Structure 1
Amino acid sequence: MSPPDHGPAEPELALVLYRALLEQLPEGVVVADADRRLVLSSERAERLTGIRLSEHTGEDVRDALPLVASDGHSFWASADPWGGLRTLSGSPEQRLLLPEGRSVLAATRHVRSGPDRRLQWLVMTMRSTRTRDRIESETAALVTTVAHELRSPLGAVRGFSQTLRNRWSQLRDDQKLWMLDAIETDAGRLQRQVGELLEISRLDTGRLVLRRRDVDVLALIRSAIHRVVSGGADPDRFRIVSEFDEVCFVADPDRLAQVLSNLLDNAMRHGRGTVTVAVELRRREVQIEVSDEGPGIAPEHRAAVFTRFWQARGRGGNGLGLYVVRGLVVAHGGRVEVVDRPGGATFRLTLPRVAPEGS
């Protein structure tokens, strides 16, 4: 007895199943056969391209999906999956342009068979360019912001250095010392800016390494205040509140010092009045609060202060300091928040007294 003849129903059923499988994938998918005909396409591919690809099934995929590479040439002509090198198994992901200003990130996979490795199937996957566009936009914003922030101290260092070199014999000793102090201050500012950039790179790529040891946070606070005062701040504006003479716990002293310096700089830049640093020792945690007597942070802005490039209106800064603060605190296994308290801005750090397991 011969098997029953199902006729054309079997390939149609297979196509239905394939389409159902494609719709489960997070990427848009387009499939063409050995004759360059569009065989399958997913709904997500249609949304990404803005083309009703299902209406072009059976047509030449090059006409149904007119893709243009970034150099302005047709992707299909440049890649030539059917007539090009038969050793190629696909093309890497790249940005491809479509009509009406659309673009997608697309890659292809070539399914070949036979001794001549003839192309049997071309499978193209595509995804939105939104994430890459956002990253590129943030990178451009970072470059612009950093260039702006570095220009001022670099200009000051260069200007004072030229003045000292060209007018050394005409300047009084006190004038020379003042200019050297200014150069040292601006050089320190440059060093901190570069340090922030390095920390952002480490945080974003997961390459941050903490070197933990026993540290006295009160000593770090005093050192951070001394640095701010040496830059010209009034020492009477700072107050440390703690019931202990020492508060020791396990942390990376360099990164914790950077956190404290950023919070103090933030209080000096955006706040007013006395800057108070309060330290409370708990059973398993150390709590540090840095507060000022300025206008404070509006409730609707508190969720955004730790994001990149957030800036208080009209207050300057590069918008990266608090982003670094949050990243370093989280790396320690702690948390940082803006406390809802009248009479200024208060930032609260909560850090574990011992290093979390596995860190």
Structure 2
Amino acid sequence: MSSLGDRGPGQPGGAPDGVEPELALVLYRALLEQLPEGVVVADAERKLVLVNRRAERLTGIRLTDRLGADVRDVLPLTGVDGRSYWATDDPWGGLRTRSGSPEQRLVLPGGRSVLVATRHVRSGAQRTLQWLVMTMRSTTVRDRIEAETAALVTTVAHELRSPLGAVRGFSHTLRNRWTQLRDDQKLWMVAAIEADAARLERQVAELLDISRIDAGRLVLNLRQVDLLAQLDAAIERMESAATDSGPFRVLSADSEVPLQADPDRLTQILSNLLENAVRHGGGPVTITVEQRSGSVRFDVSDDGPGIAPEHRALVFSRFWQARGRHGGNGLGLYVVHGLVRAHGGTIEVLDRADGATFRVTLPADGGPQASA
């Protein structure tokens, strides 16, 4: 059976200088077991010579029992198109300038799939392949990302369709029936178009924020702001935009509550929490503001049906919406959570028998960093 330890010192895969080949093989195997990826090594004769346990778990095959066998028989990998990986990629043939292949999804008999990348270790003037090193990863993370991306596309398409349809419908009516419409009807349609355009703008801004939060590229422009002034402005905008947006009650022992924050992002946090309370709550919305040692805390409470205990750990997840809730796209609280964390703060759902209370705690000095 071919072995990595059979190679001479200084050759690819050979034992390091001063180390016996048998000891080198033990060291190689010990090092491979510490890697998070699965590793499979085949030699120039296509024989399987080295594996780690992670590779066995990923493939579901007892690879250590097949050492010395043809790696193509041990791992009959196929692409997602059903064609044999070994026939299409052919690491031992083709161009000898190739140094490997990028990560791709490959399928094993039975439907198990893994993400595989290869590295070609070559030597000599002919660039002969000495070792084929395959690294493997689980497809779980990629599948989750792909599922979330598909869900995001579906949600965005659904959310954008309604306001776009309304804008198109009102515009069509105004263009074709302008002389037949009364002035108040025209103004109402223009106002509806403006409201739907603002809704589309908010949707796009939310999506951009999600992208920045997930990528860790959300930059904050911190400066001294008054939380109560920001809160009053957010409430005023909501009351002027809708007739069923209140009432709101603000409870604070102070006339000013200063803190270091990004004023636009703080407004976004406040607006999203207030809109969530109005949309899903009932009765008055109460905002309690309190200055603490080195931090500022505010609670947004409503008298609605509340959030079940089993759902409280999920409310800040992307696309989460409790059964029976109406409106929204399940992204607002996810964005709020990211913005609060970007400020170095925390947000939680308090345990209440009736209604829901979201508690936000922000450092008064703006936190340890200005970006997330």
Q: TM-score, normalised by structure 2?
A: 0.89
* TM-superposed deviation, 1:260: 0.7
Find 1:154's aligned residue among 161, 164, 172: 164
Q: Does 1:30 align with 2:34?
A: no
1:113 aligns to what?
123
- In 2, Cα distance between equivalents of 1:50 and 1:235: 57
Within 5 Å, give how 1:137-286 maps onto structure 2: 137-234=147-244, 236-286=246-296
3-state SS in 1 of match to 2:103: strand
Q: Which moved more, 1:222-231 or 1:330-339?
A: 222-231
What RMSD over aligned residues (CA atoms) do the two structures have, in Å?
1.7
- The change in CA–CA distance for 1:352 and 1:231 in structure 2 (over 3 A counts) is same
| Alpha-carbon contact 2:76-2:84 (below 8 Å) kept | yes
Gaps of 5+ in 1: 1-9
Q: Deviations over 1:62-100 (max 9, x none)?
A: 121111123332222222211122222211111111111
- The change in CA–CA distance for 1:240 and 1:30 in structure 2 (over 3 A counts) is same
Q: Does 1:340 align with 2:351?
A: yes
| Alpha-carbon contact 2:344-2:368 (below 8 Å) kept | no
Moved over 6 A (4+): none
Q: Does 1:330 align with 2:345?
A: no
* TM-superposed deviation, 1:308: 1.0
Q: Which moved more, 1:320-329 or 1:159-168?
A: 159-168
Q: TM-score, normalised by structure 1?
A: 0.92
Q: Which moved more, 1:189-198 or 1:217-226?
A: 217-226
Find 1:43's aligned residue among 32, 43, 53: 53
Q: Identity rate of aligned residues, in percent? A: 72
| Alpha-carbon contact 2:259-2:364 (below 8 Å) kept | yes
3-state SS in 2 of match to 1:159: helix
3-state SS in 2 of match to 1:71: coil
Q: Deviations over 1:120-156 (max 9, x none)?
A: 1111110100010001001111111111111111111
* TM-superposed deviation, 1:232: 1.7
Within 5 Å, give how 1:38-77 maps onto structure 2: 38-77=48-87
Q: Deviations over 1:220-255 (max 9, x none)?
A: 212222222233233651222223333222100111
Which letter does structure 2 place at the counterpart of 1:81? P
Q: Which moved more, 1:19-28 or 1:33-42?
A: 19-28
Q: Does 1:355 align with 2:366?
A: yes
Q: Deviations over 1:281-302 (max 9, x none)?
A: 2231111111111111111211
Q: Which moved more, 1:244-253 or 1:286-295?
A: 244-253
3-state SS in 2 of match to 1:99: coil
- The change in CA–CA distance for 1:11 and 1:236 in structure 2 (over 3 A counts) is closer
1:5 aligns to what?
none
Which letter does structure 2 place at the counterpart of 1:110? H
Q: Deviations over 1:147-198 (max 9, x none)?
A: 1111111111111111111111111122122222211211111111111101
Q: Which moved more, 1:135-144 or 1:219-228?
A: 219-228
| Alpha-carbon contact 2:344-2:369 (below 8 Å) kept | no
- The change in CA–CA distance for 1:285 and 1:13 in structure 2 (over 3 A counts) is closer
Which letter does structure 1 place at the counterpart of 2:268? Q
Q: How many residues in Structure 1 have an aligned counterpart in Structure 2?
A: 350
* TM-superposed deviation, 1:329: 0.4
Which letter does structure 2 place at the counterpart of 1:211? N
- In 1, Cα distance between equivalents of 2:319 and 2:284: 26
1:321 aligns to what?
332
| Alpha-carbon contact 2:246-2:278 (below 8 Å) kept | no
- In 2, Cα distance between equivalents of 1:212 and 1:32: 55
Q: Does 1:87 align with 2:135?
A: no
Q: Does 1:129 align with 2:143?
A: no
Which letter does structure 1 place at the counterpart of 2:361? T
